[in-house]
Structure 1
């Protein structure tokens, strides 16, 4: 027993003598194309470390510092070409094989980002028999938390096939598949989702605590055995270790948990995106999904609509875009809609148009622009409906109208021009405010001609709740 103890005790010291690297670097990985890619790791202090990619004729070297850390930058070429190798040489040699150069995206959020074929996502299950694609690579990170920011994680890169796809984010996969088909470049996807998580856990704690509202939101997170209840813990364990690794952008699908304090969600989204971009030192694109309709059982409190409202407001984040999924819910009593393909495709639409400058037609949902009153009629105008609006399956639904008494009544609505809807109710002679799909479980049928659902909205700023 004593000999075993000594071996375990001294093994980290022996390992320091060899060059080694964080888990995000492995064979079968994807490196961001046409970038200054940071490569880092550990070795004996003072040891010379040389890094060379088989795509380049010259190597790059550095010397390990007194903390046993080395870091350098290599330049990656345009996407494509045969699989490469990345060689790291110090006292020992590491050769990473089957390396591709392409586009790398981070896929983060709670369970609707995490959900996979293994969790019952039906269209992901349908992909399994034909899933193999050597030009799509996955890095699936296990759930990790920490009290302080970490410099390494766990996991390894893997080629997309029926086995690896089964446990990988379905939203992330369909997004990556669409990009791969449209851009014809390799796609690397990093899955760091955690079901049930609060946005506060994805932001460094000291930043959450800077502002009274966000601090209160963090302090009132509901305890659970299934997810962290501390600000910053997921950031420290799952985001911080990745921040030196070059990415193209980030996807986000989260918000259901933050119904406990929805008024801060807009501020927290800005704080998170600013923090992540600062950590990566890159103003990367950020595309996200508005939470889906679900029967939370607290409809009179308007918590879910309030979160959606904050998510809509957050579209003012630069280089951001929001996907609406009110039409993609198969069961309003299931918080995890069973189909994710169209969610991934809509996120890809934003990326293809905004990040990759592809001409793909309209990729934005109709969005409320303005309202004016003509007698007993409220006239609502939408943006992103240049080709026209459409009502699917019958008369328009989910419109409500109120007068000065703040009482909302179900309204009749009809499309009167390409981008204009007329809203009326015999119970409201002088309209003051209109709401659309502003409840927990809306089933709206207003779309633009491209088939994208209108964003839920309200024209008033009245106090919500009982």
Structure 2
């Protein structure tokens, strides 16, 4: 998917070279905000070996383009202010960018809760109607994925001052953060929104950085081949996917659902209309998130099989891995678009040909769109053969786990969004980055801390050492718990907490009380913006205020009780709605050993009692997908979820 932004750039290029590209990179346009108090890096494209002259706010520098025409210049640091004019000249060309402010620039990135627009936020109509701030400027990065890093955007971008029209489609969390922060940090704010719903953290990390983990080398090798020969790379990926399946515990050696022969396992007839499997009337699939195999055959003539062909599938919700005659031919992420997979020469044959699709769904509806006639083989002569001879399906037990994602997939791949949405930013000066992501990685929470550290180091390598990273901890979502249990969401929140706690330039905004049990996209982004602004004041601007509410420091024994000590408490700990807080658990070493504990507030400590207290080795708080947590401080900020060992 790609988002086209309206508007044009006025580069003021001399008429005798009007066909040449703008001298300046697309980040430098009217209404731009440049980072204050540090040297200002400016770059662009000129003719090879051409001298480039750059002027801004009375400062002038020169640069020379290299053999490919790329040039870079560095202007002296400026204090917050403006508006200024940025003037660039080379040869007979000149580009003028006006209304440039100098202030603090923020990158806002992540998945759908960062992407969620102001028009979808709480009290949206009033928020949009009242929006008007020439000192907050907005730039939305087009949603483009790529298999190689891009030097600039593939679609037009622009900086816009805040007004009711420009703020409507912009990230609500990002905008409300800057609006709140500007109350205490009175400088212009530049906001760069680079977010994609449903994206995994691996997609936002460069391939070079991911290789340092040593766990994605095979996928990254396939990705490198995909850039040069997509059809061959897809075949290689199909073999890797098959290896994953065959290595699953409980999968028999002859269980190869993609094979053209008679497949193992229990296969049933799918409804002719296909569509979301939740609506088939099959109890097993009524509320199923996981994998389902689909299989069909299509009979071809010799003339059809000899032609070049494309397999056209309707939308699959949300990830497919597809084989034809036992060979992998394609894999795509995203529920909204159909699939078109070019088939290698010689793959089809006269007679019956087998098409097998594995569909993975992780949220709400899942399955192949219908009807069956929406799926077809299309041939080079313009004819087609619909796949309407009947589909069979087979449900995959959830305990087999989640399959690897094709590395070229847009939001679920490796480095794809880094390449298409982060790399085009170049090394633009930033004050910090906001990161709201993790919902799409809960199934691999045990790896998330490592991935978040790598992303942080990767972005610092691009935008500058010590780049502050403000992380939003996942909000509550789903049914409230009635007993202690394991939670992928809670485990990922713990990974976020640990990574933030280990680095002074990383902060954590707790959102456990402002989610929505019934909606994974909570609309109260105003309060989230306030908490992010408070976090920035602490982490970035070094104000001496608690960053984000009470923080559990340690847990130890006090007689028969376990006591948790909290820091960063404003005006004391309080329990909402009862004599003591709820949501605390005492646990042993074994999975399933956790029990709810009775809790009492004693100053900045919470004392826990339960029959298992004497044997407890761990304390957990707010440990569920959507926990009920009632411990706050006098400033109205919640204590965040955590797991801590019980010290002697």
Structure 1's unaligned 5+ residue stretches are 1-13, 462-466
In structure 2, the partner of 1:338 is 523
Whether the 8 Å contact between 1:251 and 1:288 is mirrored in structure 2 is yes
Deviation at 1:88, TM superposition (A): 1.2
SS of structure 1 residue aligned to 2:143: coil
- The answer (yes or no) to whether the contact 2:43–2:72 under 8 Å persists in 1 is yes
**Of the candidates 405, 409, 412, which is equivalent to residue 229 of structure 1?**
412
C-alpha distance in 2 between matches for 1:97 and 1:123: 34
Shift of 1:372: 2.0
1:413 alignment counterpart: 599
**Greater helix share, 1 or 2?**
1
User: 1:292 is matched with which residue?
Assistant: 475
State the 1:186 CA deviation.
0.5
Question: Which residue pairs with 1:142 in the alignment?
Answer: 142
Verify the 8 A CA contact 2:61 2:75 in the aligned structure 1.
yes
Give 1:125 shift: 4.0
- 1:28 aligns to what? 31
2:349 matches 1:164: no
Matched, 1:257 2:444: no
Query: What is the CA–CA distance in structure 1 between the aligned matches of 2:74 and 2:639, rounded to whole Å?
Result: 45
Distance 1:40 1:403, change over 3 A: closer
CA contact (8 A) 1:26 1:157 kept: yes
| Partners of 2:198 and 2:189 in 1: CA distance | 27
Give 1:424 shift: 1.5
- 1:175-324 equivalences under 5 Å are 175-213=177-215, 223=319, 224-225=333-334, 227-295=410-478, 301-315=486-500, 316-324=502-510
SS of 1:183's partner is: coil
How does the TM-score come out when normalised to structure 1?
Answer: 0.88
* Cα displacement (A) at 1:333: 1.8
Q: CA RMSD in A?
A: 2.6
Aligned-partner Cα distance in 1 for 2:111–2:52: 39
Q: Which residue of 2 aligns with 1:74?
A: 75
Give aligned pairs, total. 441
User: 1:409 deviation in Å?
Assistant: 2.1
Task: Structure 2: state its 5+ residue gaps.
Answer: 1-16, 221-240, 245-289, 291-317, 320-332, 336-409
Q: 2:329 matched to which residue of 1?
A: none
Check whether the contact 2:122–2:526 (CA below 8 A) recurs between aligned residues. Answer: no
Name the structure 1 match of 2:324.
Answer: none
The residue aligned with 2:554 is: 370
1:373: Cα distance to partner? 2.5
1:172–1:344 contact (8 Å) kept in structure 2: yes
Match of 2:152 in 1: 152
SS at match of 2:182: helix
Q: Partners of 1:32 and 1:277 in 2: how far apart?
A: 16
With over 3 angstroms needed to count, the CA separation of the structure-2 counterparts of 1:80 and 1:396, relative to structure 1, is: same
**For 2:73 and 2:433, how far apart are their aligned partners in 1?**
24
The change in CA–CA distance for 1:215 and 1:308 in structure 2 (over 3 A counts) is farther
Structure 1 residues 159 and 16, CA, compared in 2 at 3 Å: closer, same or farther? same
Contact 1:124 1:170 (8 Å CA) reproduced: no
- Structure 2 distance, partners of 1:248, 1:127, is 26
Asked whether 1:433 is paired with 2:618, we answer yes
Q: Structure 1's 161 and 263: CA in aligned 2 closer, same or farther, altered over 3 A?
A: same
Q: Match for residue 11 of structure 1?
A: none
Larger radius of gyration: 2
Aligned position for 2:586: 401
Q: Which residue of the partner structure matches residue 52 of structure 2?
A: 49
